[in-house]
Chains A and B, each alone.
Chain A
Amino acid sequence: LIKLTDQQKEFQQLARRFAREEMIPVAAAYDRSGEYPVPIIKKAWELGLINSHIPQQYGGMGLSIFDACLITEELAYACTGMQTAIEANSLGQMPVILAGNEEQKKKYLGRMTEEPLMCAYCVTEPGAGSDVAGLKTRAEKVGDEYVVNGQKMWITNGGKANWYFLLARTNPDPKCSTSKAFTGFIVEADTPGIQIGRKEMNMGQKCSDTRGITFEDVRIPKENVLIGEGAGFKIAMGAFDNTRPPVAAGATGLAQRALDEATNYALERKTFGKVIAEHQAVSFLLAEMAMKVELARMGYQRSAWEVDQGRKNTYYASIAKAFAGDIANQVAADAVQIFGGNGFNSEYPVEKLMRDAKIYQIYEGTAQIQRLIIAREHLGRFKK
């Protein structure tokens, strides 16, 4: 299962080289300034490292989820802030790739491959994150248009997107089931009535652009509805089976970086007459970190492979994302520990990793939601 083809190795090499030579040297500066890493994104776009999921007929690479994950892990190794900005493109595009009609795909995926544009997945609200069914943003059909009112929050690429995938409630009846009450739309970001909020200052992944977005009587043409009225919930959730493996890959990349930095340090720093790697307390820590990284990698590879084979991978995708998110936090914190006082300091690279890691237990489905999903899938299989 885990033998890479020559082409996959080449993709991985390209991404690794780009990450180490272009991203790592500037990552700390972008973390301090919070500035959106436009030059990095542009260069990655030129090399074909972004928009890998877009099918070839719309100008994309049409890569498998597995291949995309290989690239994602390498970029995340360098900086998950930059990598999240890039990954948000995949998340925003996924509903269109899965559910768009020919015109929608040509129009909205095509433009992403013609110039380095960003898009965003616009679902979360101030009052509803995990509870997607609790979304309050309303879309009302008026003639040939839908008029949208509401507020979205924590939208990655919110201030940089050219278009959004938007999920809004089209059926106001509270008794209507979630599988029929919501509609997915493609919304041009310059549509009148869209107010983009300020850039949020977050704990980590600081160069990524996260914002609140207000919709005030925003008019969307009916041609921009994905599939049809009421089909939105399933589309929004279906995207995750394809995007959770790459997110798990990102967390794995961060964990691998933390492990490498800690190992390097442990082989140089001396205490009590020897390098600290020779003290069992430290070598055991490193061993456990290594275990977690290897298993997280196998987790995302399995979940990516499953969906590439055409099978429903929800169970594996949730496991991969939950596990990778959790271990990324543990490994990053352990890396800081191994660095000791230096680890707490911003001149050393590991405190950034610890701050960047936390969000992996929150976005793309919280650690708790993943457990709900895994339990449901597991018990469902058991009962069969």
Chain B
Amino acid sequence: MGVLITGTNTGSCERDSPGHVRYNSVSELKWRPLLLRIRVKPDNTGVVTDGVKHSMNPFCEIAVEEAVKLKEKKLVKEVVAVSCGPQQSQETIRTALAMGADRGIHVEVSGKDYETLGPLQVSKIMAALAKKEDAQLIILGKQAIDDDCNQTGQMTAALLDWPQGTFASEVTLDGDKIKVVREIDGGLETIKINTPAVLTADLRLNTPRYATLPNIMKAKKKKIANVKAADLGVNLTSRLEVLKVEDPPQRQAGMKVETVEDLVGKLKEAGKV
């Protein structure tokens, strides 16, 4: 799920005081399974999702929270929540609205198209929407916890030729630039990027708020627009074909050895060293 923060229809950044720019931003929301027990489909083409309770991807929640916070600080004008998927994706959009997003866009993708929907198609949709809505900031979750692709944000930025601040654990708007502290393998990296830009949210960026009961009721009045991928000029055909999905191998029983020499001996026997 990303937060599209969008603004006026004329689309340019507004300056209301020196160094203070108002942004429009967009977030893309991913609706994914609330997993309890994962089962591989009998035909090995994927995992069973029927009847599995789905909810908003945790990193997407963090993205929405960040967008809402920026709006509360009056640094962005409008937050638009976007989700691509079947009818039920609307629930996630409504959760975002209840958290404080202003309106939603549901890009309806169902059936076979949904099964093969991947980061490339989603990023094409996001890029198209960003242009259509004249967004200046796109915030997404760093990755979805069902497929762990970690690609949509990066691809979206590439398609739009926008800078990207991925794995963000801290975001500061600074005039028409954004300072992003990124979580990387070696520690933390701080970068400054121009806007418009794409950000992806990492775990420690913030703690998402609960939607309060009054806000859930207020969210009913907020609009969710319905759009088709074709209307945005996006071809959903996947270039990837899933050949096989398998369970990981069953864990074999271990073996206890008495000494380090025994251990090395057994490892050599098994051809591991």
Contacts and interface: CB of A to CB of B under 8 A. Distances in A.
Contacts of B214: 48, 61
Q: Is the interface of A mostly helix, strand, loop or mixed?
A: helix
Q: How large is the interface on B (under 10, 10 to 19, 20 to 34, 35 or more residues)?
A: 10 to 19
A47 B213 contact: yes
A48 B220 contact: no
Interface stretch (A7-15, A132-140, A167-175): A7-15
A49 B213 contact: yes
Interface centre among B91, B212, B213, B217 (most CB of A within 10 A): B213
A7 B221 CA distance: 12
Contacts of A9: 91
Contacts of A47: 210, 212-213
Contacts of A11: 213, 216
Interface in B204-255: 210-214, 216-217, 220
Contacts of A10: 91, 94-95, 98, 211, 216
Nearest to B211: A14
Q: Is the interface of B mostly helix, strand, loop or mixed?
A: helix
A216 interface: no
B35 to A, nearest CB: 15
Interface string B66-90: 0000000000000000000000000
A14 B91 CA distance: 13
A32 B94 CA distance: 39
A11 B91 CA distance: 12
Contacts of A361: none
Interface in A1-49: 6-7, 9-11, 13-14, 17-18, 46-49
B22 to A, nearest CB: 29
Contacts of A252: none
Contact of A7 (B95, B210, B212, B217): B217
A112 B216 CA distance: 20
A89 interface: no
A52 interface: yes
B210 A14 contact: yes
Contact of A61 (B95, B98, B211, B213): B213
Contacts of A17: 210
A263 to B, nearest CB: 12
Contacts of B217: 7, 61
A108 to B, nearest CB: 21
Contacts of B98: 10
Interface centre among B98, B210, B212, B220 (most CB of A within 10 A): B210
B223 to A, nearest CB: 15
A44 to B, nearest CB: 10
Interface string B88-109: 0001001100100000000000
A216 to B, nearest CB: 40
A46 B210 CA distance: 10
A14 B213 contact: yes
A7 B219 CA distance: 9
Interface centre among A10, A14, A18, A47 (most CB of B within 10 A): A10
Contacts of A18: 210
A47 B220 CA distance: 17
Interface string A212-237: 00000000000000000000000000
Contacts of A7: 216-217, 220
Contact of B216 (A14, A46, A52): A14
A337 to B, nearest CB: 25
A13 B95 CA distance: 10
9 contacts: A7-B216, A7-B220, A9-B91, A10-B94, A10-B216, A14-B213, A47-B210, A47-B212, A61-B217
Given A10-B98, A14-B212, A46-B212, 16 more contacts: A6-B91, A7-B216, A7-B217, A7-B220, A9-B91, A10-B95, A10-B211, A11-B216, A13-B95, A18-B210, A47-B210, A47-B213, A48-B214, A49-B213, A61-B214, A61-B217
